[in-house]
Amino acid sequence: MNCLRSEGIPQSWEGASTGEWSAPPGEIEAFLKERPLLGRVTTLADVGNAAAFLTSERAAATTGTVFNLTSGTVVD
């Protein structure tokens, strides 16, 4: 079993809000870009590419792995 660990993908927050908090996607992205070590945010395409890799024959021997897709927001 493998895991894709993602965090803070502004594209996934489009139109999202809670009773206490909401912000335009650009504002969310600006906030999130301040945090990661890579200076960029993870995109849905990044997650999709990792998922495609994990389901391919190229990852046939990969087991028990957590793919950190946080752009350095979370350091393992």
Tens of pLDDT, residue by residue over 13-63, are 766 666 666 666 677 677 777 777 888 888 999 999 999 999 999 999 999
Both tokens assigned to 57:
């024959």
Which token pair is 18?
């809670």
In terms of residues, how long is the chain?
76
d(CA 12, CA 66): 21
Spatial distance between the Cα atoms of 53 and 71, rounded to a whole number of angstroms: 18
- pLDDT at residue 22 in the model: 67
Q: Is the pTM of this model over 0.85?
A: no
Residues 6+ apart with CB under 8 A from 64: 1, 2
